[in-house]
Amino acid sequence: MNAEKDNAKGMTVNYVADIYTGFPDKFGIPRQSGIVPELTGRIVFRPEYRDPEALRAIEGFSHLWVLFDFSLSHRDNWSPTVRPPRLGGNARVGVFASRSPFRPNHIGLSCVKLIRVEHTSDEGDVLIVGGVDMVSGTPVIDIKPYLPISDRRDDAVGGYSDDRAGYRLEVVLPPDADKKLPEELVKGLAGCIAEDPRPSYQEDPERVYGMEFEGFEVRFKVAGGTATVTEIERNQEAELDV
C-alpha cells in the first residue's frame, strides 16, 4: 500500500495569492502574527485562483490561517538549530521547536483576523486581514479557516516562548506622530517597536534604528526598556517605487 507515496521525496506547491502589508522590508515586523492587531494586510488572489465561490462562507470565520512562503529567507542549506531573537540571540533551539523562517521547508504559518472581504473590480475579492507579520509581496500558499474546536488549545504550554511572553518596550512617540499618520497606523507602529525589533538585544542607546512602515521612514533609539521614536518621515523613494 502507498508504495508510490513512500517513494516520493516531496511535492510542488503553487502560489494562490500574495499578501501586501505596510512592510517593504523585514526589519521591524512583529515576530509572530496577532501580536499587533492594527497591522493590516490585503490578500490578493492570483488570477487563476480568483473565484468568489472559493471564498463562500468565509465571512462567518473571525480568523484565518495563512500559509506562506518565507520568500526572503531562502537558503541552500538548513541548520538543525536556530537562535530565536527572543532568547537574546545566543541560545540555540531545534528548528522544529521554533517558528524561524530558516527551516527545511521555508513555509510560514500565521493566524490573522479576517476584517472583511473587499469586492474590487481589478483584483476580484480581496481579503483584508489584521495582525499580519509578513513582508509586503509575500506569496501565499493556502488560506484556511481557524476552527476553534481544533485550533484553540486552552491548555497549551509554549515552552521557551512563554518565558518572554510579557516582554515589551515602552514606546515614546514624537508629539506630532498623530498628525503624520492615522491613529490606527500610529498604534500599529508603536506596537511593532514595543516588540523590540533589535537584533540580539543590542544595547547601544545612541544607535539609531530605521524601519519602513506604510510608506514612512521611521527612526528610533532604545535605552533600557524605552524606545524613543525620533523621526517619522514620508519615504519619497517608496512612493516612486510603487
User: CB neighbours of 121 closer than 8 A, spacing ≥ 6?
Assistant: none
Contacting a second copy within 139-178 (CB under 8 A): 139, 141-162, 165
DSSP lists the bridge partners of residue 219 as 210, 231
Contact 206, 217 (CB under 8 A): no
Q: Does 21 bind a second copy (CB under 8 A)?
A: no
Nearer to a second copy, 172 or 194 (CB): 194
SS3 call for 55: helix
Span interacting with a second copy, options 15-23, 186-194, 201-209, 225-233, rule CB under 8 A: 15-23
Query: Exactly one of 47, 80, 175, 224 binds a second copy (CB under 8 A); which one?
Result: 80
Span interacting with a second copy, options 45-53, 177-185, 189-197, 216-224, rule CB under 8 A: 45-53
Torsion of CA 5, 10, 14, 17, to 10 degrees: 110
Give dist(CA 120, CA 114) in Å, integer. Answer: 17
Span interacting with a second copy, options 63-71, 179-187, 207-215, 227-235, rule CB under 8 A: 63-71
Contacting a second copy within 83-112 (CB under 8 A): 92-99, 103-107, 109-111
Shortest gap between Cβ of 89 and a second copy (angstroms)? 15
Contact 38, 130 (CB under 8 A): yes
SS3 call for 66: strand
Query: Exactly one of 27, 58, 83, 172 binds a second copy (CB under 8 A); which one?
Result: 58
